[in-house]
Amino acid sequence: MNGQPGFLSYRERRVTFALVIGLLFLSCATWSESKGATNTIGTQTQHDIPPEIAIDVGSLGIETDIDIRDATSLKKGRYKDQNKHVTMMLIKIFRSDDGTILYQNVEPDGTSVAFTTTGSAPKKVTIMPGQHNSKKTLELDSTTDLTYSTINHPTRGHRLDIGNYAVANITITKPNNTTTPPSTTTLFSYDTPPANAEYPDRRYRVLIRVEKK
């Protein structure tokens, strides 16, 4: 028996309903993937990588998984491995309040990371490439004494501090040996913003993954 004019048959209604459900599912899936991609690119979860070095810029504390103190100077440190070369393999800088990534470098070998404090006599702490006993190292150089302490952290149990100094700027540079004379290229420079309603604590963190080979 044919359906009445203007009405869908039972079979036609089932096909139409299935198509509507399918379109709704595809629309939701596309929105979900798009939202996930945005979150992955725009924010940083502190636990998605296990960095060997982490710097809390709010108080300029340098956390490491090994003791990097220099036995001859309170202003220096050295991240080394007796049998391997040590280089940076990742630098990531992000705001500690909402995780927004400020800078990321997946090929940072050879770069230097410098922190400069506020004040009439600014202090400076630099993490840079070095060499010790024919092995590549990461050198820490400070214009003021560093204070050592142990901390309760699952992977980074050591910390060096420079005291109650606020960080005014962080700058990442890399030597350019293709010029004569050799020059330095600034890859990233960031001034700590003033406190405001949008960004009240002004804190951000620097994560450095270390490669030993």
Shared-domain flag, residues 4 and 59 = no
Shared-domain flag, residues 35 and 64 = no
pTM (two decimals):
0.74
Most confident of 4-13, 14-23, 95-104, 147-156: 147-156
Shared-domain flag, residues 102 and 181 = yes
Shared-domain flag, residues 76 and 32 = no
Q: What is the chain's alpha carbon radius of gyration, rounded to the nearest angstrom? A: 26
48 inside domain: no
> Does residue 47 have a pLDDT over 50?
no
For residue 123, the surrounding DSSP H or E stretch is none
The count of domains in the chain is 2
Residue span of the structural domain in which 85 resides: 53-212
Shared-domain flag, residues 208 and 127 = yes
Shared-domain flag, residues 38 and 69 = no
47 inside domain: no
Neighbours of 72 (CB within 10 A): 7
Distances (CA, A) of 97 to 19, 84, 171: 44, 36, 21
Q: What is the pLDDT of residues 119-156, one digit of tens each?
A: 889 999 999 999 999 999 999 999 999 999 999 999 99
